[in-house]
Structure 1
């Protein structure tokens, strides 16, 4: 299946029809965050449950636009993304989970500020492609897809793919000068 910008993957979530459990999010320097996740079988019931858990955890986490399996303690190449409603999002594919995703094309590199639930006290400037083509597999059906996106959603996908590879945004910043204390709003 190929998804062009503007096509929603929301139907996939309905087909999953599996309730997710909210899992605790691990913080750096937990070693699971520094390990490359294992390639998974997207049709494995444990992977389908993990996918549902990622979505459930993401939904109860204010401001969260993506969550990868290592962030909930699972060393696996699975992540959820949903940039719906984010003020920086232009291209939005809704809520979706991908397994074993890779970036196959990346263009238009731009710096941008990133934060992470696993690094709760810092944000940082990271240079990423603002247009990407990503290939992955939908959990449950095992259907391969190719997703083309740009802007904020492209940044979120690259951030989560990095998590699956054992990288944090801290590994991508140019140096200490590009790190900032996260603002706390009361």
Structure 2
């Protein structure tokens, strides 16, 4: 299991996983409050190198990856004048947003019952004249109703099958990717 850009968790013991998770939460907190953390700069440089000829880029991030995706896209726009970034943050904590046109290309996706991570933070900083922004779109999807609490936070990209009240077959991952494609058609 990869926790990009925070480290790998494959084959490690439970105690080592807890230490990794504690370190990750510290790093996530740092990335949330810093505009251009080193992880944002590094990811931005990697994308710039590999997508130099691209007219458009879609960045999709889950949890803390949603924060990084947003900030990397903004970094590419501010530093390299790259205007073709579309960001989809899935199940990520909220973080202070400036009221800027870039936010129109930022879509925030949660489930029908927002999980614990999506309840963390705020888009607006009380009393601030700068941090008064919001995502361009906020979307709630109906995901597998059997996934609740922490289990739900980890299930956005699962292929676990379920049927809705109309007996229509669904998987979280297919529904999520379909919604992203619907919101950003033709690309």
Q: Same fold (TM over 0.5)?
A: no
Could you tell me the TM-score, scaled by structure 2's length? 0.28
Q: Which has the higher contact order (CA 8 A, sep 6+)?
A: 1
Could you tell me the TM-score, scaled by structure 1's length? 0.28
Which of the two has higher C-alpha Rg? 2
Task: Considering fraction of residues, name the structure with more strand.
Answer: 1
